[in-house]
Structure 1
């Protein structure tokens, strides 16, 4: 029986930069902080919640680059704000 194992390869410097950005964002963005807290309330550990926040920030950056728009806190987190209130 053959077993296929997943191979996880990533750029350590990129991961460090993204996690640093996510940690910094926690202090200045109430929406990012709320997103992190919602992950924690679901039972996700701090580091995993930080990785999820970093992934969300990459998604926001991708959206800004794809549409050619500047970052706007209200627009970037509007979907998550709706989920939190409704």
Structure 2
């Protein structure tokens, strides 16, 4: 994110000093900057969604493993109790 903001800053600075005799095309640069900021926001949101999905899947996998271990322990406990009584 910081790199992209730096890139936007430097591209604006270069646009000010290059081409058209140094004239700066504010409308095009603002539109491009807005486009890039929107893209950054979109990708950030998508990354957050993917991360939440990944964490949910990890939690579900841990719960599944815990359920399997508890089932095995319960079976062992039943066998142990039935053999003693």
TM-score, scaled relative to structure 2: 0.31
Question: Which has the higher Rg, Structure 1 or Structure 2?
Answer: 2
The higher-RCO structure (CA 8 Å, 6+ apart) is 1
TM-score, scaled relative to structure 1: 0.31
